[in-house]
Structure 1
């Protein structure tokens, strides 16, 4: 029996109590879905609900009286072994072994779709993440967003949302000028400008720009006047840098549906249109020769200049136009992932959202991620893009591999800074969380191979299912089935809260439950022992666990190896 089936049984019991007059509630007050959850203490049963406490006051009865009535009605339901009442009216429900064990068949029938839910169904979401400036390789902070953002997209899609992954290509502004001047200086054998960029990658790109220009039949940019040469290095250098960024992300398993160019907002007139829209709403005013947005009306700490006194658009003007552009493209929710240094950006953009008549926190959601610190040999690994000691995406992957990098970055809440121990992530031990989960999956595959070698199959020779869920009676089997039942709820909650790390933490707990079961319950017979339906049914449970581990790892963009 799945949580949804139990929820439906509870709703049916409530409806029955209303129909026979036991419960004085209008029929439309009976919830279509009753929330059930796993008790914290295993001895309290398989599932618990506080629905009696929620409805008792409306019905004019004591919660425990309502709970007792519901317990009697539920006890007669097929698949429910017992219903106990705790405290003022909590219901603790225990399923019989067969009802609980049926989940193994359900998981294998649903396959790769088990865990999918409809909590975000009908929602179109624009998810913007990484969006690193094309002035250097992606550093470790951006790598965290690559792992978390792509995992969040997968979780949202598994929950029914239509998700478009978007990369905001910052090709407009002073940082691009500094980048171009840095390339030109390095090409001429000079030191980088004081406010420029350093590092070996600047030399590599400068050399590539020169080679590209000559290969295209254009003059060596070093022979051009500085202003012309700088434009060549700007155009070709940014393109070359962005190609490297896109290739690195692809190798990391992250691809985007849209690469949006910031410059297009200014060239297309989108900024002017957005400002005019806000002006028509009465939210724009002129002062000190500049154009301002009255964001204090919507909770910001001060009003914001959107067009400076020299007529140039302020940086926020592009952000305003970009948000409006996304909404006009038909997205219900706009999610933006940003680093900790953008914390002050939140209130002003929520004010912009409200000024357009949208709902802050719903139509616009901004997720702020904290710092990532790398540790090797017990010492912090330092980074500085301008000093040239940047730790890049490629550096991290070279050190620990794609799977360990993605998993370790996605397994922690973005609200917390994290320390990645490169030595630990390189170890094939249970201390390494990604190894621990992947090893559980590889173990399920090994059990399946051994089962086949010993003549244990999920099907009998006549092709019929050799599955008797009532045989799954060992305590570790009950615990493992309970964990497997939780997967759809965890995925839905991860989507609702925008927290894909919940999937990783779930997988680690599931792996632990599986390892415990593996040590207690054999799938293959010992010695001359005959193969029985106990062995065959346990193979169903083993393979169901394998499926859920693979599904969960897939949501994190991490492989599920068959052997380790």
Structure 2
């Protein structure tokens, strides 16, 4: 991990804290990190907590604590500590990408599942009114998210998720687009306009996510024709992609806690965009021979495909191998 990679990682943590509602600040365009000074801890340090404290209306130590929670398991970060009035100090890992890719490959579709909500019981109200079709869809998805984090969740209770009404238009849109139209916006926001979701264009967020997954499958097929497969053997410098893959478990937990499937959808968009920007580096070009670098990049792309397919499955949306 380079200082630039670390800067992006800290910026991801700020963005997650804002999305979670833990911080109410404008996300800065960049985060400055520098070599730790004599007497400091770790290899690098950032004063981002001190920078955000005033606008957040909290002490720098409070802000640093919020960010530290979101950085302690970040890919590439071995250790994070808070020193002085609120400086964040970092010790970096040498093979964070390899650890992350191995974790995704070992877990497969269950990557991101956890037990943080074990012992929690949630029972939602039964919904039978056709006018509540969006509320039912959102609630069923939240039940799936809660169960993925170890909660005992289901129906037969009185808890409700308040949503802005919207029709589940299967006849016009089909299952995938109909679900994305209702789940991609936050529950209190209006549903997406349906017809644009049927157009194969980069402006269509559902198309980008599903296309990114299909690109992974094509990369794996093309690599097999060239005689090599995925194997993470050497570090890959792809901080944006590694960052969003490392965020996946936190996003699923946050979406379950906040009853917000839209967080999963937005995360899938970020993963797709990072993968599509990275894909051109995966296969050998021209007369190049497949190398450890290509095998490692392919393994990272495969991990991204696993996250995309798993996230779409949580939303009840298919991941086609070809588009």
Answer yes or no: same fold by TM over 0.5. yes
What do the CA deviations read for 1:461-484 (whole angstroms, capped 9, x no partner)?
Answer: xxxxx42242x12xxx11100110
Alpha carbons of 1:80 and 1:404: their partners in 2 closer, same or farther (altered >3 Å)? closer
- Please, which of 109, 112, 124 is the counterpart of residue 109 of structure 2? 112
- Please, which of 268, 271, 285 is the counterpart of residue 510 of structure 1? 271
TM-score by length of 2: 0.74
TM-score by length of 1: 0.44
| Residues 77 and 92, structure 2, Cα contact 8 Å, conserved in 1 | yes
| Residues 129 and 145, structure 1, Cα contact 8 Å, conserved in 2 | no
Question: Where does structure 1 lack aligned partners over 5 or more consecutive residues?
Answer: 2-35, 53-61, 133-137, 167-325, 327-333, 337-366, 373-391, 459-465
| Residues 159 and 492, structure 1, Cα contact 8 Å, conserved in 2 | yes
Aligned residue for 1:335? 159
Count residues with an aligned counterpart: 274
Alpha carbons of 1:448 and 1:131: their partners in 2 closer, same or farther (altered >3 Å)? same
Structure 1 residue 495: Cα displacement:
1.0
Alpha carbons of 1:84 and 1:493: their partners in 2 closer, same or farther (altered >3 Å)? closer
- Please, which of 208, 221, 232 is the counterpart of residue 467 of structure 1? 232
Aligned residue for 1:455? 227
Is 1:539 the counterpart of 2:298? The answer is yes
Structure having the higher Rg: 1
Aligned residue for 2:198? 426
Is 1:151 the counterpart of 2:126? The answer is no
Structure 1 residue 124: Cα displacement:
2.2
| Residues 181 and 193, structure 2, Cα contact 8 Å, conserved in 1 | no
Aligned residue for 1:126? 123
Alpha carbons of 1:469 and 1:154: their partners in 2 closer, same or farther (altered >3 Å)? farther
Alpha carbons of 1:97 and 1:508: their partners in 2 closer, same or farther (altered >3 Å)? farther
Is 1:398 the counterpart of 2:163? The answer is no
Alpha carbons of 1:50 and 1:160: their partners in 2 closer, same or farther (altered >3 Å)? farther
What is the RMSD of the two structures over their aligned residues, measured on CA atoms? 3.6
Aligned residue for 1:487? 248
Structure 1 residue 526: Cα displacement:
1.7
Alpha carbons of 1:441 and 1:44: their partners in 2 closer, same or farther (altered >3 Å)? farther
CA distance in 2, matches of 1:497, 1:547: 24
What do the CA deviations read for 1:163-213 (whole angstroms, capped 9, x no partner)?
Answer: 2245xxxxxxxxxxxxxxxxxxxxxxxxxxxxxxxxxxxxxxxxxxxxxxx
Is 1:162 the counterpart of 2:162? The answer is no
| Residues 406 and 557, structure 1, Cα contact 8 Å, conserved in 2 | yes
Structure 1 residue 89: Cα displacement:
2.1
Alpha carbons of 1:545 and 1:49: their partners in 2 closer, same or farther (altered >3 Å)? farther
What do the CA deviations read for 1:114-151 (whole angstroms, capped 9, x no partner)?
Answer: 1112221112222235321xxxxx34xx2312321121
What do the CA deviations read for 1:49-86 (whole angstroms, capped 9, x no partner)?
Answer: 9999xxxxxxxxx97xx99xx9xxx9xxxx65897989
Select the structure that is richer in strand: 1
CA distance in 2, matches of 1:453, 1:143: 46
CA distance in 2, matches of 1:431, 1:496: 30
What do the CA deviations read for 1:391-423 (whole angstroms, capped 9, x no partner)?
Answer: x64xx21211100111120111112233x3232
